[in-house]
Amino acid sequence: MSASSGPSLVTSVCGIGLRNPVLAASGTFGYGVEFEKLVDLNALGGFVVKGLSREPIEGNPPPRIYETDAGMINSIGLQNMGVRAFVSQKLPALAKLDTAVLANVFGYDTGDYVEVVRVLEDHPGLAAYELNVSCPNTSHGGIYFSSDPALLGEVVSAVKRVARRPVIVKLSPNVAAIEPLARAAEASGADALSLVNTFIALAIDPHTRRPRIGAGFGGLSGPAIKPIALRLVCQAARAVKIPVIGLGGISTGEDAAEFLIAGATAVQVGTASFWDPRSPLRIARELAAFLKQERVADVSQLVNTLKL
């Protein structure tokens, strides 16, 4: 590392080249194009578009977001325009970007996931798919893909049969143990994992005695979940050989460094983008400053260096 060049942030995840390891997370960055006047999208390590389903979804009743101590509860209800509208209205502009664009994909049975990916396969502009498996499988009595290794393996295997791009599986923290799910995803062909998704939570208005979120329960994110997310990322990274992308409460460069030390190859920034859409760029700069301070020449040298 020369004094002039500084540490290198260039990295890759399952063959996807990234100018830095800090991506904007799904659900917090729209379809990306909405932020192009606020953020230099090409300076990002990459970003994940909001979840895409086979058909459009209107989402949950308001209120959908509630600020908590050191965090946020949301219950958007996976509102999105549907995959076909996305490929016609949003993807052409995204395809012109010089950064990694990932599509988050979800469904309520295996066929939903396969159909969304099949549609996306016919269009350029995406680097990979991120499967949101925190959904109930309506074909199996509402069991969540994210909590059943067999169901998880089924959906990952089915998507891998139609996907030419890398498949990243986004795991839920709402499970008894993360390792069996991580191994099931890997065994079924996942190219990488991302974790964690939000924690199921409840906020109550004591005056009305009603939930503060229209749908009742919501997903807790933000700095409050970071220590638990770090533990789960560490456990998952030690359970598999495929790369792990860490997320959960990252708001500074040192937060990002902690996830890399725990075993993540890259990170995603979510809730921080709500109060500052430029957070991923700032966090990448702060990560570079941390590496320089620690005399680490390349960000890859930080990965999986936790002394447990």
The domain 11-59+78-199+222-302 is classified under which CATH number: 3.20.20.70, 3.10.20.30, 3.40.50.300, 3.30.230.10?
A: 3.20.20.70
pLDDT at 244: 98
The string of pLDDT tens digits covering residues 49-86 is 999 999 999 999 999 999 999 999 999 999 999 999 99
- Domains of the chain, residue spans: 11-59+78-199+222-302
pLDDT at 86: 98
Q: SS3 letters for 107-157? A: CCCHHHHHHHHHHHHCCCCCCEEEEECCCEEHHHCCEEHHHCHHHHHHHHH
The pTM for the full model equals: 0.96
- What count of other Cβ atoms lies within 10 Å of the Cβ of residue 285? 15
State the Cα–Cα distance between residues 42 and 14, nearest whole angstrom: 20
pLDDT at 1: 55
Which active-site residues does the annotation give? 135
pLDDT at 4: 53
Residues of the chain with pLDDT under 50: 2-3
State the Cα–Cα distance between residues 15 and 21, nearest whole angstrom: 13
